[in-house]
Every structure is written in structure tokens, then in C-alpha cells.
Amino acid sequence: MWIKLFAGAREKSGKDKIEIDCTPPVTSLKIKQMLNQQYPELGSFTSYARLAINNRFVENELELLQPSIHDEIALIPPVSGG
């Protein structure tokens, strides 16, 4: 499963996309846990970032997800504006 990275996660990992060993069905919470285990350099970033699948935020971290290899999964940092 490939995860696109942005901002701080991209800087910490040095990559714009990383692969995790995770088989669906899975929750976004589990994906974040797998990211922390397989890429410890991400540190606490995953605790406050949100997961998006096909440009839609996953609202419930415990919802079972069935992403396919064709889905775009992204770890999105907090967004601020002014």
C-alpha cells in the first residue's frame, strides 16, 4: 500500500511516497500505526495528520477501509490559514 506524503512528513522521510506492508481491510488508525512502526523517522507527525483516500478525508479513524492499488492514499498535515 503506497502512501503519499506532504510537508513535514516528506521532509522527515526524505520521500514523497512510501510503501507500507498492510493488507485491507484496515482502519486509518492502523495505517498510521504501521507508518510509525515501519518509518519511525515520522515521529509524532502521524498523530496529528489526517488520512485521505482519493482526495477525501477519512473522518472516522476506526472505519474499516478497503483501499485498492488504484486508490490514492495520502497523509495530510494540519492546514492553517489566515
Residue 32 lies in a domain: yes
- Alpha-carbon distance 52 to 50, whole Å? 7
Residue 49 lies in a domain: yes
Mean confidence (pLDDT) of the chain:
89
CATH for 58: 3.10.20.30
Beta carbons of 80 and 8 less than 8 angstroms apart: no
Percent of the chain at pLDDT above 70? 98
What is the span of the domain harbouring residue 30? Answer: 2-76
Predicted local confidence at residue 68, as pLDDT: 86
Residue 82 lies in a domain: no
pTM comes to: 0.85
Residue 65 lies in a domain: yes
Name the more confident of 22 and 51: 51
Q: In this structure, what is the dihedral angle of CA atoms 55, 14, 45, 34, given to the nearest 10 degrees?
A: 80
Number of domains observed in the structure of the chain: 1
Residue 52 lies in a domain: yes
* pLDDT one-digit tens code per residue, 35-48: 999 999 998 888 88
Mean pLDDT of the 30-35 span: 92
